[in-house]
Amino acid sequence: MSQPSEPIDMHTTAGKIADLQRRIDEATHAGSSRAVEKQHAKGKLTARERVALLLDEGSFVELDEFARHRSTNFGLEKTRPYGDGVVTGYGTVDGRPVAVFSQDFTVFGGALGEVYGQKIIKVMDFALKTGCPVIGINDSGGARIQEGVSALGMYGEIFRRNVHASGVIPQISLVVGPCAGGAVYSPAITDFTVMVDQTSHMFITGPDVIKTVTGEDVGFEELGGARTHNSTSGVAHHMAGDEKDAIEYVKSLLSYLPSNNLSEPPAFPEEADTEASDADRELDVLIPDSANQPYDMHTVIEHVLDDAEFLETQSLFAPNILTGFGRVEGHPVGVVANQPMQFAGCLDIDASEKAARFVRTCDAFNIPVLTFVDVPGFLPGTDQEYNGIIRRGAKLIYAYAEATVPLITVITRKAFGGAYDVMGSKHLGADLNLAWPTAQIAVMGAQGAVNILHRRAIAEAEEAGNAEETRARLIAEYEDTLLNPYTAAERGYIDAVTMPSETRAHVVKGLRQLRTKRESLPPKKHGNIPL
């Protein structure tokens, strides 16, 4: 028969230490075992398990472990778990300091109350003061209704800190469960949002409310699942297969980002060989002879980056433009590139906003931007015009013109019309503009130009019965005269016309030179980007 445990004598040192250990154990197991089982049954980890996966082993220092709510509404005073449903603190990822908060769905369904919000605010303030990234792990049913307006006030306080920290410290949101109502705006303001397929959901109003108000039937996954926000809305930056994959992606992102805007991104310097290799020479035969035939821009990007490593962001959204991170000589770079495999690389509303947001993120955190251009223009159509392609496409102009980080642009093939200007042109402030001999820099393509320039000659040829021959001759003349990189090079809009196989060497040397770049913008409170 086991002996009953002796009561703790709080008047002794041993008793006080035993009491502390009891409280720590209580805080660590704040959620009931049944709630934890339900969490695991859904394929989800607990708040503490997520923190343990994210941070280096033994590095986590918890803050406000014993914080508890003070509410007496609706019988809440009977349930006052330590931690109040969110785990907050700091630690390291790959040896670099980070702050973290992790919402605990096993306590009050992760619902946010006053003390819960204060804990998040405190850790965000701590991150801003110390200049380290903050990672928010979201798994919450929303506001704690019993606490009323106090919960709403806390959301507002969190949003304000998200805004103040924007561009100062990296902010990354992991959405690993529900995130509904006002709660969605915190991830929306942060730099990157990562979701998990089938378990993450984000929406302002849920399926039931939508059904009541509009009569529309929609499920959680279709309305706000990871696939929806990665491919349709563009709210998220990565769709992970499971939580471990999501956390690994966050770690990879952090490896390219500085701790704050006053620091340089983490570098692992390694001098590159600038002699063209056999692999480099593969680029010399990449561009098809026909301007209408696509090729994969990933091939170009991977040949220029170290070890062909390219961490793509928003890969499922606006696939006609590619964005992501890589390294050149061990130094992080951001990449923006038109993708001829999708819509011929045309810019549309989604592509413009995706690229603009990415360029501004790189500029905020001192990461040089490489731009690879093959763009026939903006996507035509009433849908684009009615939805504001003029205003929303202008965001990309704004992002490039505002950027003061090193900017290198490589034109591989088409650069037509306004889209040429928008894609990191010399006129918007790019430092080095390179072109391949296959580049075609002009107001428009040959077909459209000939139809406008030689309308009368073509009409006369049609009457004479030799329209096709005449059109072919005029197109050839236009291509020979204007569809090349040399007219732009004569005017200094292109700094060098280079062999494709020498692109990496040019980029390597250019980035070496631009490491000491200093450029400032006119003094202002802030610009007025066409939102």
More confident residue, 348 or 143: 348
pLDDT of residue 64: 86
Residue 20: which pLDDT band, with cuts at 50, 70 and 90? confident
Per-domain residue ranges of the chain: 13-256, 278-443+483-514, 446-482
Q: Are strands 369-375 and 331-338 parallel, antiparallel or unpaired?
A: parallel
Assigned CATH topology for domain 278-443+483-514? 2-enoyl-CoA Hydratase; Chain A, domain 1 (3.90.226)
pLDDT of residue 408: 98
**Residue 61 β-bridge partners:** 90
Residue 3 has pLDDT above 70, yes or no: no
Give the pLDDT confidence of 435-446 residue by residue, as tens digits.
999 999 998 887
pLDDT of residue 228: 96
CATH of 13-256, one of 3.40.50.720, 3.40.30.10, 3.40.50.620, 3.90.226.10: 3.90.226.10
Distance CA 4, CA 127 (A): 45
pLDDT of residue 6: 67
Residue 5 has pLDDT above 70, yes or no: no
pLDDT of residue 480: 81
Q: Report the pLDDT averaged over residues 368-394.
A: 96
Element (H, E) at 374: strand 369-375
pLDDT of residue 76: 67
Residue 471: which pLDDT band, with cuts at 50, 70 and 90? confident
pLDDT of residue 446: 77
Residue 349: which pLDDT band, with cuts at 50, 70 and 90? very high
Residue 91 has pLDDT above 50, yes or no: yes
DSSP state of 522: P
pLDDT of residue 1: 40
Q: Report the pLDDT averaged over residues 467-489.
A: 84
Q: What are phi and psi of 88, to 5 degrees?
A: -130, 155
pLDDT of residue 510: 98
Residue 92 has pLDDT above 80, yes or no: yes
Active-site residue list: 181-182, 418-419
Cβ burial of 106 (10 Å; 0-12, 13-18, 19+) is buried
Element (H, E) at 207: helix 207-214
Q: Report the pLDDT averaged over residues 140-146.
A: 79
Report whether 507 contacts 408 (CB < 8 A). Answer: yes
Q: Report the pLDDT averaged over residues 70-89.
A: 75
Give the pLDDT confidence of 113-129 residue by residue, as tens digits.
889 999 999 999 999 99
Residue 69: which pLDDT band, with cuts at 50, 70 and 90? low
Residue 71 has pLDDT above 80, yes or no: no
Distance CA 67, CA 80 (A): 9
Which among 146-155, 392-401, 457-466 has the top mean pLDDT? 392-401
Percent of the chain scoring above 90 in pLDDT: 73
Helix (H, G, I), strand (E, B) or coil at 64: coil
Distance CA 449, CA 431 (A): 30
Q: Which residue matches tokens 């631009």?
A: 514
Write down the mean pLDDT value for the chain: 91
Residue 80 has pLDDT above 80, yes or no: no
Q: What are phi and psi of 320, to 5 degrees?
A: -75, -5
Q: Do domains 13-256 and 278-443+483-514 have the same CATH topology?
A: yes
pLDDT of residue 508: 98
Give the pLDDT confidence of 285-339 residue by residue, as tens digits.
999 999 899 999 999 999 999 999 999 999 999 999 999 999 999 999 999 999 9
More confident residue, 331 or 182: 331
More confident residue, 84 or 156: 156
Residue 150: which pLDDT band, with cuts at 50, 70 and 90? confident
Residue 2: which pLDDT band, with cuts at 50, 70 and 90? very low
Residue 505 has pLDDT above 80, yes or no: yes
Residue 31 has pLDDT above 80, yes or no: no
Q: Report the pLDDT averaged over residues 18-41.
A: 79
- Which of these, 400, 388, 387, lies nearest to 427 by C-alpha position? 400
Residue 342: which pLDDT band, with cuts at 50, 70 and 90? very high
Residue 453 has pLDDT above 50, yes or no: yes
pLDDT of residue 195: 97
pLDDT of residue 107: 84
* 202 CB-near residues (< 8 Å, 6+ apart): 175, 179, 180, 184, 187, 195, 224, 229, 235, 236
